[in-house]
Amino acid sequence: MEHYTNVRPASNRTRGLTHASPAEVSLQAALDALGDPVRRRIVRELAGEPDWARACGTFAHLRVAKSTLSHHFGVLRQVGLLEQRDEGTRRLNRLRRAEFDERFPGLLTLVVEEPEGA
Amino acid sequence: MEHYTNVRPASNRTRGLTHASPAEVSLQAALDALGDPVRRRIVRELAGEPDWARACGTFAHLRVAKSTLSHHFGVLRQVGLLEQRDEGTRRLNRLRRAEFDERFPGLLTLVVEEPEGA
């Protein structure tokens, strides 16, 4: 495993990830991303914890295939809802709540407050 | 054509329509309904005019088949976004904006303010 200084905390793997800014995202893309119940569940779980507290590996309880989970994370990144960075072998997550709220006022709140299993 | 008094303004055809209250609608159903660009366009057009001003027949410019249009209206009714009633041979529409806003704050505003063709 490589070692990174504070000056460049992101690994090559993380730098290869595509991150979109919510400002560039269409309403269609946002609705498509949040139209999936597993992605809304991921968003809700992240909203309940501090930034960067959750690694991708901690979502195994959602009982979806790893490749599917990875696809969901990719969709959330592409609509500017999710930021990811690697720390050692873990990929950490941050919900870009303020930025997304500014672009789509009210939308994330509806998702976060949705009752589980609804 | 039959004649109706003010006491019972709805025709049999209208009374056969299924209308849901937004209060009963899940976020999943609302996102599914608004995930379609033609349905968002219908919503935007209705939002720009007074209640009951638009008949279903005035949406021909959307260039979708009549049966498809009818399906879209049905989906919008079923999530509590649209109220319909018949007046003679015309089926008139009302956007249930206040009720939907109360159930899903912010969501309809995003749709109404979406740039056309985005």
Distance CA A96, CA B13 (A): 48
Return the bridge partners of A94, or none: A83
Instruction: Report which secondary-structure segment, H or E, holds B112.
Output: helix B107-112
Question: What token pair was written down for B95?
Answer: 């956007």
**H, E, C per residue of B24-60:** HCCHHHHHHHHCCHHHHHHHHHHHCCCCCCEEHHHHH
Q: Which residues of B10-45 are buried (b: 16+ CB within 10 A; e: fewer)?
A: ebeebeebeebebeebebbebbbbbbbeebbbbbbb
Q: Which residue of A has its CA nearest to B34?
A: A31
Instruction: Check residue A14 and give its pLDDT.
Output: 61
Residue from the list A40, A107, A109 with its beta carbon closest to the beta carbon of B110: A107
Nearest by CB: B106 against A28, A107, A114: A107
Phi, psi of B103 (to 5 degrees): -75, -40
Task: Kindly list the distances between the CA atom of residue A112 and the CA atoms of A12, A46, A47, A97, in Å, as whole numbers in the listed order.
Answer: 32, 9, 7, 10
B46 Cβ contact partners less than 8 Å away, ≥ 6 residues apart: B54, B82, B93, B94, B95
pLDDT in tens, A32-65: 999 999 999 999 999 999 999 999 999 999 999 9
Interchain contact, A27 vs B104, CB within 8 Å: no
Residue B116 has pLDDT above 90, yes or no: no
ipTM value for the complex: 0.85
Q: Which residue has the tokens 């025709």?
A: B11
Condensed to tens digits (0 to 9), the pLDDT of residues B33-56 reads 999 999 999 999 999 999 999 999
Mean pLDDT, to the nearest integer, of B14-24? 83
d(CA B7, CA B3): 12
Q: Which positions in chain B have a beta carbon within 8 angstroms of at least one beta carbon in chain A?
A: 26-28, 31-32, 34-35, 37, 40, 104-107, 109-111, 114, 118
What is the rounded average pLDDT of the residues A62-76? 96
Residues above pLDDT 90, as percent of chain B: 79
Q: Which one-letter amino acid corresponds to residue A55?
A: A
Please choose, from the candidates B40, B30, B45, the residue with its C-alpha nearest in 3D space to the C-alpha of residue A28.
Answer: B40
Per the CB < 8 A criterion, the answer to whether B43 and B34 are in contact is yes
Inter-residue contact A102 to B11 (CB < 8 Å): no
